[in-house]
Structure formats: structure tokens, C-alpha cells
Structure 1
Amino acid sequence: MNRSAGRLSRHRRGPVAGLAVLLLGLLVSGGLYAALSPSSSASSTASDEQLVKEGRELFLVGCAFCHGQNGEGQTDVNGKLIGPSLVGVGAAAVDFQVGTGRMPLAAPGQQGPAKPQTYNDDEIAALAAYVASLGPGPAIPTEADYSTTGLTDEEKQAAVVRGGQIFLTNCTACHNFTGEGGAMPRGGYAPRILDTSPKHIYEAMLTGPGPMDNFSNGNLSPEEKRDVIAYIQSMRDQPGFGGFSLGALGPVSEGLFAWIVGLGVCVAFAVWIAAHTTRSTKKKESQA
């Protein structure tokens, strides 16, 4: 009995026993993963499908009149475009347009202004999921894409400097060097961006809404977009240095002020001098 027990003990301590235990552990863990992983994936798929379904219901009620029943776009009887195709615009475009209140429009127009949201955040997420299902496009950015949180003070300052160079090169022609916006050709306008949220600024650069250029990740990297946003946020905190800001619209308003007020004062002063001189002359002649 002692000899057989000793043999068993030696076998249990041998390398074959250790290998058998390792294989048994792998089989158990693999079986558990195979049993649990499919159910998690199926649950996620079902959740996405439900979100897309909810988004389609909202789309048919509030968006299909202009964009078509399947997001294919819509034209009137004369062939004039009412609403563009949404296939391939991505969830980011929906989150920007609906999240800033630009969509839905009461009636098709030149350019949708920013206004309070019509849909709540859950409904916007559902609409974005449905439009994203129509074709591949830019996804909604996360806070890590546009936030400088986690950077040191030196890195934040460097990001502001880089963002300022990009903004002055690519954005000031439309949005003004102060971000106050301005008029555009054909009745369009570049909106004021100082009060726009960082997420929506990122989405605007990513998707190019309206007359705005599209700065995809191939044109501006995600880090460069983040730097531009850091610069725009820094402009909000810039102090005024005295004088009239005149809307901070640059040389147009300043030149108009100079012509109307500056020259107006000069003309009024000249008229006053002429009138005063005429009265003085007439008075002297009457006394003579």
C-alpha cells in the first residue's frame, strides 16, 4: 500500500501532471469565454438594432420630408434640391446639425441658424445611429479627441500656439481673427464660434457643414483639431484693451466707423465754420 501510494504521489508531482492541470485550466477558461462572450455580443447587437429602429421612426416623422424616406435626398418638381442625401455623412454630422438646433428646418432655406435643440440627447443619439447605418461616415468624437485635459501647462500652451497658427491660416477668412464670424457670398454667413461647444467645433471641422470646408483627418489630424479648439477657447478669456470693439469684426467695421463718424465730424465742423463766418461777415456789413 505504501509503495503504490508513493508511486501515485510521484506521478502527481511529475511534469505530466502539471501539464494536465494546465490543459484542464485552459479548457475550462475557454469554455467559459465561449459561453459568455456570444451572449454579450448578441446583447450589444440587439441594443444597436433597437437604437437604429428608434432613430428611423424619428427620421420618418421629422426628416424624411426633405431627406427622403431612406436618406437618399429629395428634390422638388423642378429638380431643385430640397434636402441632400445623408448616405455616408456619418453620425458626427447628425450630432452637429441636430445638436446645435440647425436641424430640423421649418422650411428648406439657404443656411440653418443655430437655435435650441428640438430633440433631446437620447433622440439625437438614435437619429445619429440610424443615419450612420445608411453608410460609413465620421463617428461622433469622444472627449479625449477634443479636450486638453491631462496635458501639462506647457503642453497646453504649445497646443494653443499651434492651434492659433492653424486658425489664422485656415479659418480667419470666414470666422474673423476673433472668431466673431462674418458674411459669406450668396447669402451665407460664418457663425460666431466662441460660444460653440468643443465637441460641435470638432464635428464642424470633421464634417464641413454648409459652406464650410471639410477638414477631414487627412487634412487636419485629430491632434491639430484639438489644438484649434484649445486656441478658440483661449480667445474667450482674452481681455479687452480699451477702445470700442465695434463688434470685433476687423477692418470692415473700423473703416465704416472712420468714414461715417470721422469724416462726418470733419464735414459738420467745416459746415459750422462756414456758417459762423457768414454770420460774422453779414454782421460787420450791417454795422458799416
Structure 2
Amino acid sequence: MSDEKTRPRAQDTGRAPLRSVSRRGSKMRRRLSGLLALGVALVAVGGLYTVFTPEPDQAIAADPAIVREGQQIYDNSCITCHGSNLQGVGGRGPSLVGVGEASVYYQVSTGRMPLAAQGAAAERKPPRYDERQIDALGAFIQANGGGPVLPAERGEALRGEELGRGGELFRLNCASCHNFTGRGGALSQGKFAPNLDPANESQIYAAMLSGPANMPTFADSQLSPEEKRDIIGYIKSVSSNNTGANPGGNGLGGFGPVPEGIVAFFVGLAALIGISLWIGSRQ
């Protein structure tokens, strides 16, 4: 009886190994399924990151030497006012983080930067750097601070063809400061809106993206790239440099109805005085 109690039964010795093997197999399947799910999740996250992350500037990614050249220009001419990390220096210059290459192109290509002297508004002057140096400086600012970038097109390629729509958009968004034909005008506190005749197409586009001085910024959600091009096309069509836009006669500076009204006022006043004198002489 004691031997039969202590001796394991045949059916028990046969089932125990089968249960342990099945448990190990189920654990292995769970681990494999978990690793597979993790792999699928990682691939999905990587795909979403690739789709929704904006592509870096190709010129910056392709040629880091341009960024290094821009850093040398920055260290020589800009670091005193804008800081070693683009953070700005109080009382000297604002932060450049987020301004992008668009702002750099506008400010430097128009000669407003480097700033000659502090004032209510920076005036246009001959630029200190050539186009390559300006692009290099913009590449450095873009690589370290980010912000709006200019389109690849330059010159007349930025002019839209819908001049009627461009004129309407210009009158709605720009004429209150720049006048109806882009000749500029005085603002409050000694500031002024500049004449747009000397500005090239890229400078006008960059100004709409960066909003220099008192000018508001116009993101693509406010003015689409096509609408910006139409505005540029309209500005160039009424520019004093466009000889084909002048129908003849004296343009009176292209300021619109104001100088024309002044001329009409003085001509009419002189005519009234002459008529009054003539009537008095007859009496």
C-alpha cells in the first residue's frame, strides 16, 4: 500500500511535461506577438513623422559650407546687436529666432541692415553684401532660428498674371500705408511706409512674409502664394519704372488723386481770381 501511494501514477507522469511545454509555447507566442505589434507601431510612427514633418531647406542640407560662411558674416557684423545665439541684445537689437531667411533677405538686401543709426524707421541704402553673402547669412539664420523662407523663384517669375485681383488685394491690405500706387506715405511717430518702386519682387514677397517695422505679416492662410504674386504683379504694373504703364502726360509722382486734387484746386482758384479781376475792371 505504501509503495502504491508514493509511486506516481503513469497518467500523472505523462501529463506534467505536456502542460509545461504548452505554457512555454504560449509565452513564446505572446512575446513574438508583442514584438510584432511594437515593430508595426514604430513603423507607423516613423511614417507619420515623415509625412507631417516639413522638409528641411535643400540648400542648407546640401551645402553646410554656406551655413558656415553665413556664420562668419554674422559673427563679424551682427553678433554685437543680436547676440551669439540669435537671442537679441537689450537696447541694441531684437531676437532673430523665428524671423527666417525671408526677413534676412529683406533687411540686408535693401541695406537697412546693418543699421546705420537708431531711428523711428530704418531707411533704404545700398546693401553691404552681395546676393551670395545675403543667401549665406539667411541660411545661417534659418538653420539656427527657423522661420519663413522665400520661394525658389526670383525676379519676374514672382509676378502674378491676375492684375485685377492683385490691385483689389493691394487696396484692401496695403494702400492705407503705401498709397494706391505703392509710393509710400507718412505714418505716426515719425515712421513712414516706403516707396515700393525700388523694391524688387523678392523683397516685396519677403516683406509680406516677415512684416518689417509696422507692417503686418501675411501668412499663406491670409494671402495665398498666388495672391501674393498677383499683388507683386500689380505693384510692378503701376511702378514708375514701368514706362508702358504711363498713359501719357505728367504722372504727378503717381500719388493718385491727392496731387491731382491740389493742382485742380490751385488752377480753379487762379481762374476765379482772374475772373473776379476781369469783372471788376469792366465795372
Q: TM-score, normalised by structure 1?
A: 0.66
Aligned to 1:58: 73
Partner SS for 1:75? coil
> C-alpha separation between the residues in 2 aligned to 1:145 and 1:245?
26
CA–CA distance in 2 between the matches of 1:148 and 1:98?
20
C-alpha distance in structure 2 between counterparts of 1:253 and 1:52, whole Å: 49
Match of 1:231 in 2: 234
Q: Percent identity at matched positions?
A: 44
* 2:151 alignment counterpart: 141
Query: How far did residue 241 of structure 1 move?
Result: 4.0
CA RMSD after TM alignment: 3.0
Sort the Cα spacing of 1:146 and 1:204 in 2 relative to 1 into closer, same or farther, 3 A: farther
* Partners of 1:187 and 1:261 in 2: CA distance: 32
Cα drift, residue 112 of structure 1? 1.6
- Aligned match of 2:256: 250
Given that residues 83 and 108 in structure 1 are in contact (C-alpha distance below 8 angstroms), is that contact kept between their aligned partners in structure 2? Answer: no
8 A Cα contact 1:146 1:226, kept in partner? no
Q: What is the number of residues matched between the two proteins?
A: 221
How far does the alpha carbon of each residue in 1:58-112 deviate from its partner, in whole angstroms, 9 at most, with x for none?
Answer: 1122122322232212223xxxxx3211111001110111112111111222212
- The alignment partner of 2:245 has SS state of coil
Alignment of 1:111 onto 2:130: no
Alpha-carbon distance between aligned partners in 2 of 1:273 and 1:54, rounded to the nearest angstrom = 78
Q: Which residue of 1 aligns with 2:247?
A: 240
Matched ranges for 1:1-288 at <5 A: 47-48=63-64, 50-76=65-91, 82-143=92-153, 147=157, 156=161, 159-235=162-238, 236=242, 237-242=244-249, 244-259=250-265, 262-263=268-269, 266-267=272-273
- The Cα shift of 1:148 comes to 6.2
Structure 2 portions without partners, runs of 5+ = 1-59
TM-score, normalised by the number of residues in structure 2 = 0.67
Extract unaligned runs of 5+ from structure 1: 1-43, 77-81, 150-154, 281-288
Range moving further from structure 2, 97-106 or 59-68: 59-68
Q: Is the 8 A contact 1:181 1:193 kept in 2?
A: yes
- Amino acid of the residue matched to residue 127 of structure 2? Q
CA distance in 2, matches of 1:210, 1:174: 12
Secondary structure of the 2:63 match is helix
Larger Rg: 2
CA contact (8 A) 2:108 2:114 kept: yes
Moved beyond 4 Å, runs of 4+: 258-262, 264-274
Q: Hey, what does 2:3 align to over in structure 1?
A: none
Distance 2:215 2:188 in 1: 12
Contact 2:163–2:231 under 8 Å retained in 1: yes
Seen in structure 2, the aligned counterparts of structure 1 residues 116 and 254 have a Cα distance that, compared at 3 Å, is: same
Q: Which amino acid aligns with 1:122?
A: R
